[in-house]
Structure 1
């Protein structure tokens, strides 16, 4: 087990600098309690704890809430969102001056992993265009599924859809009972909601998503045959990339901006230097992270670039403060790491 500890992590921690002032409060906005975002956030917080830095992991409704939260929520420097949130806000919130101000100020920290767009529909709905005039569950407001479903149907100009704003886990039994015709769900395949034998493949199927107008915003992808018990053939769909975002802090503006910029630089350095450790011990989706796969439309923050410098050393604090959200999933790894560093 000790061999799995990344040398880069040990080096990063060994060269951390002692803090000269009280630690600024830091938070990352994620998603629901059972989702992937919150687990990714906990992995990042675990890195911070080993550097003696506290990162509060905040549960949320998802991408839209996270995006606005990084702009408006106090002591919230990080958020995980889907990359199509920018296109959604420019399209549907173009007249909201505060939101457009946030759009101009957000910055990407790192691209993360792709999430497939699942549309589970009755077998008599042959395509996306077939959703016209149907009842379709699109996720709760402010969630990533909600914004992707709304944007896709707008791009393709699908008319007359009765949009039902409920979570996918609420929508699935309604679909099976015939109360709705389809549901959207944005999640990395295989999505736990669709696993098992509860979905009848003779009654329901995943819609292909191959329409050319979508490719300006989304990534072509494929859900392989047999990913789900009800799905016998491969289905071509699109994916949206989850990204770790931050804000364009100005160190010359005030103490909060200066300290927040330092926090962004510190965590940029920790993630960059310890990606291999995250891929081995963190959530499985870390294995799909490509830090070079920057989605179009996003700018990288100045504070992020500062932390990416070869000679950058994060400011570590001698004694870690427990984070406000701890899963316990990495306790064994962290304990072994502490033992190794004492030798």
Structure 2
């Protein structure tokens, strides 16, 4: 009897302890987010590499988050990063970066200088964005880019748009300078002290660095003349008094060039987790694009042509499908008919007095014509 009583008491104690442990575990589960909730939050989170706080990229990354964020269906996280070149490196290497804002000319850097294998297939684009203008701000004794030859010129920080695009433009125009890679705020202080001649900043206008800048006597923007050497990626542009009333006199403007920015994406394997995230991001981007063309979003969203093509880049298949869906078959048929009409006019003028083209020659020429019109 005594042994029976002991076993009964021990069993009762075990049951009480088990119940207490179960209650504690249940309380712990109630106090922390559920595993399913955490999994959902991570499953639909897309990281967007923006840029430096003083630049324009980060503002557009923030706009994307503001317009597209829809927890738990989609979470968009804008990231402060190092700019155009750095953002493509992040797309290639960082686990949390799925989409990035960069510039059209940057892919050449990875093809030619870093020799990244198959880069045009690995990094593709969703759509072109706005044009970023080249700002060259110099001390009073310098009146042209050629005057800067041999001088110390700041091109922002490593990996930034100014670091890459700025130096490319100077080299193509034959102006050799001593490049410094330092933060713009530090560079402006060195301009004031006479240590450097100019600061180069490649951003969408108007940019706060200059818009809110107290003008220094004689400091001014230098013109960047458009040249055939810049015809692959760059287009003529101006900086106007309306953009920078403190720095440009009323009614005047300064010639410069601009480069298209690009919403880039890593070419994720179909069916993978990150492919599904990007698919949801692209669906929301095209569905809510018109929202971003209204206040309070950045004004240059109004310049963006979703159907625009980027020379040297491949559009991501999901983006191509989304574009076709929103445009519809009638619009595409109308575009094709218009292209055919333009092509016929082109062929008539080109082949005046020459033997007529065969059907295969005509189709090959039309294909080349379509690609040329796309650019």
- Superposition TM-score, scaled by structure 2 size: 0.69
Residue 215 of structure 2 is aligned to residue 199 of structure 1: yes
Partner of 1:175: helix, strand, or coil?
helix
**Residue of structure 2 equivalent to 1:127:** 144
Residue 196 of structure 1 and its aligned partner are, at CA, apart by 4.7
Farther-moved stretch of structure 1 (75-84 vs 45-54): 45-54
Match of 1:106 among 118, 123, 126: 123
Cα distance in 1, alignment partners of residues 129 and 201 from structure 2:
18
Cα distance in 2, alignment partners of residues 302 and 287 from structure 1:
24
**Residue of structure 2 equivalent to 1:304:** 319
Cα distance in 2, alignment partners of residues 156 and 125 from structure 1:
17
**Residue of structure 1 equivalent to 2:299:** 284
**Residue of structure 1 equivalent to 2:43:** 23
Residue 201 of structure 1 and its aligned partner are, at CA, apart by 5.6
**Residue of structure 2 equivalent to 1:211:** 227
Cα distance in 1, alignment partners of residues 194 and 88 from structure 2:
35
Q: Is the 8 A contact 2:144 2:222 kept in 1?
A: no
In structure 2, stretches of 5+ residues that fail to align are: 1-38, 327-375
Match of 2:268 among 249, 254, 273: 249
**Residue of structure 1 equivalent to 2:285:** 271
Farther-moved stretch of structure 1 (125-134 vs 223-232): 223-232
Q: Is the 8 A contact 1:269 1:307 kept in 2?
A: yes
- With over 3 angstroms needed to count, the CA separation of the structure-2 counterparts of 1:34 and 1:250, relative to structure 1, is same
Residue 301 of structure 1 and its aligned partner are, at CA, apart by 0.8
Match of 2:257 among 238, 244, 249: 238
The number of residues matched between the two structures is 283
Partner of 1:50: helix, strand, or coil?
coil
Q: Is the 8 A contact 2:307 2:323 kept in 1?
A: no
**Residue of structure 2 equivalent to 1:221:** 237
The equivalences for 1:1-343 within 5 A come to 23-50=43-70, 52-94=73-115, 99-159=116-176, 161-196=177-212, 198-200=214-216, 202-228=218-244, 229-232=246-249, 233-251=252-270, 258-280=272-294, 281-308=296-323, 310=325
Whose relative contact order is higher, 1 or 2, with alpha carbons under 8 Å and at least 6 apart?
A: 1
- With over 3 angstroms needed to count, the CA separation of the structure-2 counterparts of 1:92 and 1:157, relative to structure 1, is farther
Larger radius of gyration: 2
Residue 220 of structure 1 and its aligned partner are, at CA, apart by 1.1
Residue 266 of structure 1 and its aligned partner are, at CA, apart by 1.9
Residue 181 of structure 1 and its aligned partner are, at CA, apart by 0.7
Q: Is the 8 A contact 2:129 2:260 kept in 1?
A: yes
Residue 22 of structure 1 and its aligned partner are, at CA, apart by 7.3
Farther-moved stretch of structure 1 (235-244 vs 199-208): 199-208
Q: Is the 8 A contact 2:87 2:102 kept in 1?
A: yes
Residue 219 of structure 1 and its aligned partner are, at CA, apart by 1.4
1:221-244 deviations in Å (ceiling 9; x for gaps): 111245322222211111111111
Cα distance in 1, alignment partners of residues 60 and 107 from structure 2:
21
Residue 209 of structure 1 and its aligned partner are, at CA, apart by 3.0
Q: Is the 8 A contact 1:261 1:303 kept in 2?
A: no
1:128-153 deviations in Å (ceiling 9; x for gaps): 22221111001110111111122112
In structure 1, stretches of 5+ residues that fail to align are: 1-18, 252-256, 312-343
The structure that is helix-richer by fraction is 2
Cα distance in 2, alignment partners of residues 196 and 39 from structure 1:
16
Cα distance in 1, alignment partners of residues 208 and 57 from structure 2:
14
